[in-house]
Amino acid sequence: MPAHWGVEKLKFIARAQFSNVDKKTEDGEQPVRLCNYVDVYYHARITADIDFMEATAEPREVAKFQLQPGDVLITKDSEDPNDICVPAVVAEPLPGVLCGYHLAQVRPDPARTHGPYLMYAFASSGIRDQFRMRANGITRFGLSQDDICSALFPLPPRPEQEAIAAWLDERTRRIDELVAAKRRLIALLAEHRTALITHAVTNGLNPAAALKPSGIDWLGDVPRHWAVAPMYARYSVELGKMLDAKQITGEHLVPYIRNVDVRWDSVNVDDLPEMDIEPHEYHRFILQSGDMVACEGGEVGRAAFWRGELDQCAYQKAIHRIRPLKPAQDYPRFLYYVMYTGSKCGVFIAGGNPNTIPHLTGEALRVYRFAFPPIDEQRAIVTHLDAASAKLDALTAATENAIAHLTEYRQALISAAVTGKINIFAGESAHARGMEARHSP
């Protein structure tokens, strides 16, 4: 750290207070808007563009917790200690907007401390490490007011604070724009995947194929030689075993998958719980290689192809096991892609209403109608889609890796700037160039 910088406890350079303004609306109180936890968590700058929650507060609360430009708000408690001390700075006057519950409101001493610099200092690795070590809790972690006020902060002269904050504003803006562009690319790749799969499972691979109406809105026209049939005519559908902790004997324990373990095209098999499956139940509740599994609740219809990841594995009641009645007629992996298309088209949402709690019952799933090409064509479509999906997966993974590098670089840049390891007055220092080389995607 530069020799002319100081190190101060927060209480000597700012005043911190915890808000007790809740989200309730009470008669006789003054209408206000609340800047809440999520507003701070997702916005580094608090501005009028944010859709603040409407509530009421007593006059004394309004006077005490009104936001002012330069205030720094931080998350003071969370279920995850890594989410503590996420900062945001109030960037403009916001009349009638108060600091909400679960936040600490830090007001810098304007003679010594620049709010935007203090926000970046809170975001630096060293400061956040102090708070992570001080956070107490088991299921929810939190900081006391003393934890915050006694934390140590690097303190350059105020003009340097302003210059550092302005420099970081520009550099982080560039990084954030790059990250946003890469997130848009990931979204476009996902859209392309859905379009590619949808076309293949509804029109096939032959663009010259004669078509016929399927009679199903979301399927539209399908190749004339494809069969259109309900699920029950081609596949057996079995809902998993209901878990009853009282009846577990421990004599026939088998690992089982839950809704949360089923992801699109993959199944988590790490650290699975166990349940009793009697030998006479194996034919119903033990998965076989080539089975399809689909979620009954949550993201209804989310499906995966079981590849025999474990020698024995059962499935809980929240999961449907789908198995072809005639393996020579149907290839379950083709049905996986059909289920993917159906889910992305909203086919399985209860009653078509996304506001209801969705469940895909066995009775409902069995009567859904799908289009089935001959099995050789099913296999050809799967081969085509597997290859295309692998390329999209690689592009998505590379883009996510680039985002991770940019995020790491952003954090390192902030930490170096607020501790004086980058001389922002000397242009691009060797230290900054070295950091950029290490973290650039």
Residue pair 179/44 in contact by the 8 Å Cβ criterion: no
pLDDT of amino acid 379: 98
0.85 surpassed by pTM: no
437: CB partners within 8 A, 6+ apart: none
Topology adopted by domain 6-155: Adenine-n6-DNA-methyltransferase TaqI; Chain A, domain 2 (3.90.220)
Query: pLDDT in tens for each of the 441 residues of the chain?
Result: 899 999 999 999 999 999 988 888 888 889 999 999 999 999 999 999 999 999 999 999 999 999 999 999 999 988 888 888 999 999 999 999 999 988 999 999 999 999 999 999 999 998 888 888 887 777 778 888 999 999 999 999 999 999 999 999 999 999 999 999 999 999 999 999 999 999 999 999 999 999 999 999 999 999 999 999 999 999 999 999 987 766 667 788 999 999 999 999 999 999 999 999 989 999 999 999 999 999 998 889 999 999 999 999 999 999 999 999 999 999 999 999 999 999 999 898 755 444 455 788 999 999 999 999 999 999 999 999 999 999 999 999 999 999 999 999 999 999 999 999 998 887 555 555 555 555 555
Does 6-155 match 227-372 in CATH topology? yes
Topology adopted by domain 227-372: Adenine-n6-DNA-methyltransferase TaqI; Chain A, domain 2 (3.90.220)
Q: Where are the domains of the chain?
A: 6-155, 227-372
